Amino acid sequence: MTLLETIEHPTGPEPRWSILWLHGLGADGHDFAPIVPQLLRPGWPELRFVFPHAPVRAVTINNGARMRAWYDIRNFDIDQRADETGVRESIAQVDALIAREVERGVPPERIILAGFSQGGAIALAAGVRREAALGGIVALSTYLPMAATTAPEATRAGLSTPVSMAHGKLDPVVPESLGERSRDALLALGMAIDWRSYPMPHSVSAAEIDDLGDWLQQRFLA
């Protein structure tokens, strides 16, 4: 498999942890790169932030316009919007990037898989199906795709991975209620989830970044 093109921001010459961060629909790997200096805390281990670009594909609900997307969105029914073929392709591409981090000396248990919106959906879908548990999953303003197949396909390692989910109460794109339903479905499978909501639309807030930093610190300094 050809690896996706990525943007990388190491915080030191010998990263001990990696954070693989997936952007939302129509954006690219540059979208969340500016978050690095906002997120960093004194005393953290050296990190490698990896921001991949999703493939360019036609998106049905945008009149077939081609843009960077982790999967096609075929209709506006939120429960049916994710194209399963595209989701599974993106899971495989993310797994390939994780494998590269392992080859570079960062074991899976020190890799954080994060994503916003569509990217968060892939982070959840990939994370629960992992044979080797990750250090954590971050899912921002998103939902769980392929919910019906999650229980039979989830692994013990995947379900043991700690998750941070956050959502905007005023989100008009992915309603908070869908995020809550996804959270509850994962809780029912036994996942440990830190859930937070904020008075914001489909976006990321300063308070959210601060809280995420606290959650990451627990992972890094455990």
d(CA 107, CA 86): 27
CB 104 within 8 A of CB 3: no
CB 101 within 8 A of CB 48: yes
Instruction: Compute CA distances 203 → 28, 40, 118, 171, 184, whole Å.
Output: 15, 20, 13, 8, 22
d(CA 23, CA 45): 24
d(CA 186, CA 79): 16
Instruction: Compute CA distances 18 → 15, 76, 98, 181, whole Å.
Output: 7, 34, 9, 29
CB 59 within 8 A of CB 88: no
Q: What share of the chain is helix, strand, coil (3-state, %, to 5)?
A: 35, 25, 40
Q: State the catalytic residues.
A: 117, 171, 202
